[in-house]
Amino acid sequence: MVAALAFREATVDDVDAIVALVESAYRGEASKAGWTTEADILEGQRTDRESVRTIVESPNAHVVLALDASSNQLLACCQLESRGSAAYFGMFAVQPALQGGGVGKALLAEAERRARDNWNADHLEMTVIAQREDLIAWYLRRGYRKTGENRPFPYGDERFGLPLRDDLEFCVLSKPVG
């Protein structure tokens, strides 16, 4: 059962908590408690304080937080960035122990609403590691479609992690929200 959720935009005071949440959802042993882990294909960091702060301070982007409405505890986050008629969705993370319980689905719906209502975006776009077939299937069940475009993984840039395989690439997904 999903707790009553509250949503708000992150401030610079939230940066450390966001970094900790994202790292716990994607990297290391803690991430294996959930199903979104990338620990089997990437080591190293998933994000860092400087990258998150840059997004939080950007006039064209936000980090949206999902909080437990009664305790104000951070449960999930995502990045939204205005790109003209599109909005980019990324840095999506849910506490590993809560994954599969509806928090992520609720935050995704809130992100779609904000992209449409706040920026008049007609679609939401994202990139997902193509080898993450289970994650892509989750998005497809929520109305996203593969665009047919793939983008290269940034090998050699440790800001995105240390790949454990040499065939990683991003699959571009999109969904109308207008």
Domain map of the chain by residue range?
5-176
DSSP state of 60: T
What residues contact residue 25 under an 8 Å CB cut-off, 6+ apart? 31, 34, 36, 37, 46, 93, 94, 95, 96, 99
Query: pLDDT at position 36, please?
Result: 84
Phi and psi dihedrals of 154, rounded to 5? -80, 65
Handedness of CA 5, 124, 48, 97 (dihedral sign): positive
Q: What pLDDT score was predicted for residue 119?
A: 95
Note down pLDDT in tens along the chain; length 178 residues.
566 999 999 999 999 999 999 999 998 888 888 888 888 999 999 999 999 999 999 999 999 999 999 999 999 999 999 999 999 999 999 999 999 999 999 999 999 999 999 999 999 999 999 999 999 999 999 999 999 999 999 999 888 889 999 999 999 999 999 7
For CA atoms 77, 78, 81, 82, the dihedral sign is negative
Euclidean distance between CA atoms 154 and 104, whole angstroms: 26
Taking domain 5-176, whether its CATH number is 3.40.630.30 is answered by yes
State the pLDDT at residue 1. Answer: 54
**Cβ atoms < 10 Å from Cβ of 85:** 11
Helix extents (H) in 37-172: 49-57, 103-119, 133-141
Q: Is the pTM of this model over 0.85?
A: yes
